[in-house]
Structure 1
Amino acid sequence: MDTTTAVSTARPASRRSAGPAFLAQRWPTVAALAFALIGTPAEASVEILTEMMMLLPFLYLVTAVLDRPRAVWAVFPASYTAWFVVRALDVVPSTVLIGAAAAVVVVVGAVRGRLRDRRFLVQAAGMIAFGALGLVALAVDPDVARYIVAAGWFLHGVWDLVHHRLRVTVDRSFAEFCAVLDIAVAVALVLV
């Protein structure tokens, strides 16, 4: 074997993609930053951002019940569309609906035998923890609530990164998308 040819054609292990190829690989990050700029209005109230934050663990809970990580890409727009419609109709407080929907999902999970699945139980615990954080934010002074909600978005970003690293529950591309979006919203809440 000619070692000169083998050495000259080998790619350095430390070389990273640059330009469009890198952006194509990091499309969830690019999409999240665009969504943060376009899809999360700067004038969004702390109340709206609190409710949106409470939906984040709901996406993971539903996906855990379905046991199909890629399904999160359908669960995401469906959940936020339903939340937007319920909020616009103003018949039932959206926080009540989010809690009721989460309870229904847990019951469906129990019926499907997911109570023995540690991943499902972790998602149910996450729903409870982030839901409680959201309810606390809704009960306190709006200036304090802004920092509580920022902490919730940031912590959910960390939650996403853990799921991305472990490759569990949701599709990795969604975990990356959600982590970048969550942290961007958290930073915006603190800086505004």
Structure 2
Amino acid sequence: MDSTTIVTTAHPAPRRSAGPALLLQRWPTVAALAFALFGTPAEASVDVLTEMMMLLPFLYLVTAVLGRPRAVWVVFPVSYAAWFVLRALDVVPSTVLIGAAAAVVVVVGAVRGRLRDRRFLVQVAGMAAFGALGLVELAVDPDLARYLVAAGWFLHGVWDLVHHRLRSTVDRSFAEFCAVLDVAVAVALVLV
């Protein structure tokens, strides 16, 4: 009589980290919440938050042209620093500068042959959609604008989550950071 023994090796389910290890794994979320609390001025006007929201798709657009997802971690602070300085100089309206910069980036993308890349075209469409929403926000009653700005930030948070899930265009850590930050700003706009 032949007997066969089946041996199974059970692998325990991986344990979720707790405490500091979890914070290290979710560092983009922690950084976004800190940035939302300390980096986004609580007294920022709806106009300022609208312009900041219009810069969000710009970061993705530039990163798509560069074709290097991790570059977004350089594009982000450089873009916001440039916006802050140009806004302080108040020579040209920031929305005009954002639109002009986006147009230059699209032309650069076209010259680099990105018009055949669907991912780049999605970023162009995103820039156009969020830019149009931003212009509408600047044109309507301030009370309505506050909710439209909140919706724009929230929708960009969804945009981030889709990119995070698809591992597309920007580094996943940035997509997580941006999603959490965007949703936090949207919630703050509605609650304050």
1:26-105 mapped onto 2 (5 Å cutoff): 26-105=26-105
TM-score by length of 1: 0.95
Distance 1:12 1:90 in 2: 57
Distance 1:12 1:113 in 2: 46
Distance 1:119 1:11 in 2: 39
TM-score by length of 2: 0.95
Distance 2:12 2:146 in 1: 48
Show structure 1 runs of 4+ deviating over 3 A: none
SS in 2 for 1:43: coil
Distance 1:97 1:41 in 2: 22
Distance 1:75 1:25 in 2: 23
Residue segments in structure 1 that go unaligned for 5+ positions in a row: none
Distance 1:111 1:12 in 2: 50
Indicate the RMSD between aligned Cα atoms, in angstroms. 1.3
How far residue 11 of structure 1 moved from its aligned partner, in angstroms, is 3.1
Please say if 1:179 is aligned against 2:179: yes
1:3-22 mapped onto 2 (5 Å cutoff): 7=10, 10-13=11-14, 15-22=15-22
User: What is the identity, as a one-letter code, of the residue corresponding to 1:130?
Assistant: F
User: What is the identity, as a one-letter code, of the residue corresponding to 2:126?
Assistant: G
Distance 1:34 1:94 in 2: 26
Percent of pairs identical after alignment?
87
Partner of 2:113: 113
Partner of 2:123: 123
User: What is the identity, as a one-letter code, of the residue corresponding to 1:125?
Assistant: A
Residue segments in structure 2 that go unaligned for 5+ positions in a row: 1-6
Distance 2:13 2:80 in 1: 44
Distance 1:24 1:40 in 2: 23
User: What is the identity, as a one-letter code, of the residue corresponding to 2:76?
Assistant: F
How far residue 181 of structure 1 moved from its aligned partner, in angstroms, is 0.1
